[in-house]
Homo-oligomer: A and B are copies of this chain.
Amino acid sequence: MPGPLSGYKVLSFCRALSGPFTTMLLCDLGAEVIKIEDPKGGDRTRFVTPQINDVSTYFLSVNRGKKSITLNLKDERAKKIVFDLVTKVDVLVENFRPGVMARLGFDYETIRKHNPKIIYTSISGFGQTGPYAKKPAYDMLAQGMGGIVSITGPEDPKAPPVRVGASIGDTTASFFGAMSTLAALLEREKTGEGQMIDVAMLDSQVALCENAIARYFATGAIPRPAGSRHPLVAPFQIFPTKDDYLVVIASNDDLWKNFCTAADKPEWVSDARYGNREGRLAHHAQLEKDMNTVMRSKTSAQWTKLFEAHKVMCGPVNNIEQVTKDPQVNARNMFYEVDHPKAGKHKLVGTPMKFSRTTCETKKAAPELGADNQEVLSSVLGLSEEEIETLRKEKVI
């Protein structure tokens, strides 16, 4: 079975990460994604290192399974091709700075004249409206301005702020972009009407911090970074062992009793500070010190065995290599191999969206620049060999 979005076509004016990750999600779900790139080099992430045989792994990962066509969008003939393509697709996704699509003549009002049923999804740093609308944004700006940095990192107030190590400033907006696009397609099934979607990276960061913001609204206390500790329950964090680190979850009273037995600390069950949930949270700093001492007495393997026997939840802090070798992750088929004309065979991360009836995996590599010019222009738009050759010679494509 093909993916659930099989038959849906997406036209992508996306570069870098927030837009391409959105169309990657739609592509993973089975949609046909046609990526429009500038004939002079294309998406700049094609040049990001590291590379395999001069092909960027960044580009290979986020653009797997898509088609690439080149269009010089300032040329009138390219504009006509865009308008023709717009009539053939269900969705348009773009992540230019607000205003750029209008300057190119591709604003929503113009596009909908060519296809009133189209879902037109704009992903931007700050959104299409508001005082910062025209400002450019990058992942780190969204992470910094949206609050996640202010609650991530070491507990020490003097420690410099840290970033979330994956570009969630971009990809959180991609999740909201893909979800809202799917919801609009579903609504179109009932009404027959398209619409425009306006997703901002900054709004998406704010949405991600809902719990911290709700706490602030209720108490007026400003949440702070808490190391590896959960702000609301304890112990629910990472502890050092004799040889490594281990995540330990013993935050409810039953788990806590189990932990005390496993750690041979029966006195902590009736300890006034640690005996109940509220106490452990109130005394988390001392609890952390005491548990660090205990946890350092055995290796991670020893603790894991003990915790399994005593039904305490624990798990390793895996590095990226360990993640790729994890038996569960592999049993779930989270890695797959594709072949690329230049990069050759290479492994990619699969999708977590597992369907019982419609499969959901992209089995093609990312495209070379303009790899699908011929196919898209001839089979989708019906252009002749000669017409395509002329466009090529005159650098329209």
Which residues of A approach B to under 8 Å, CB–CB? 3-8, 25, 29-30, 48-52, 57-58, 60-62, 108, 126-127, 129-133, 135-141, 143-154, 159-168, 171-173, 175-176, 178-180, 182-187, 189-190, 193, 195-200, 202-204, 206-219, 222-223, 225-233, 236-238, 240, 245, 247, 249, 278, 281, 313-324, 326-329, 331-332, 334-335, 346-358, 360
Contacts and interface: CB of A to CB of B under 8 A. Distances in A.
Given A131-B328, A141-B315, A165-B226, 9 more contacts: A5-B186, A52-B218, A145-B326, A147-B318, A152-B163, A165-B223, A171-B208, A204-B352, A216-B324
5 contacts: A141-B314, A145-B326, A163-B237, A179-B182, A222-B319
Contact of A186 (B61, B130, B182): B182
Contacts of A145: 247, 315-318, 323, 326
Given A140-B236, A182-B186, A206-B329, A199 B353 contact: yes
Contacts of A313: 135-138, 141
A316 B211 contact: no
B187 A358 contact: yes
Contacts of A314: 141
Nearest to A190: B7
A36 B197 CA distance: 32
**Chain B CB within 10 Å — which of A206, A236, A320 has the most?**
A320
Contacts of A172: 175
The residue among A146, A229, A316 with the most chain B CB atoms within 10 A of its own CB is: A146
What copy number does this chain have within its complex?
2
Contacts of A168: 164, 168, 208
B332 A147 contact: no
Contact of A230 (B139, B199, B200, B237): B139
Given A29-B179, A152-B152, A323-B147, A317 B161 contact: yes
A162 B154 CA distance: 6
Interface core residue of A178, A204, A213, A281 (most chain B CB under 10 Å): A213
Given A50-B218, A199-B353, A204-B352, A163 B315 contact: no
A139 to B, nearest CB: 7
A228 B166 contact: no
Given A218-B50, A317-B149, A331 B4 contact: no
A140 B230 contact: yes
Contacts of A184: 4, 355, 358
A301 B30 CA distance: 48
A193 B61 CA distance: 32
Contacts of A108: 356
B227 A183 contact: no
A185 to B, nearest CB: 6
A331 B130 CA distance: 5
A61 B203 contact: no
A132 B328 contact: yes
Contacts of A327: 130-132
A144 B354 contact: no
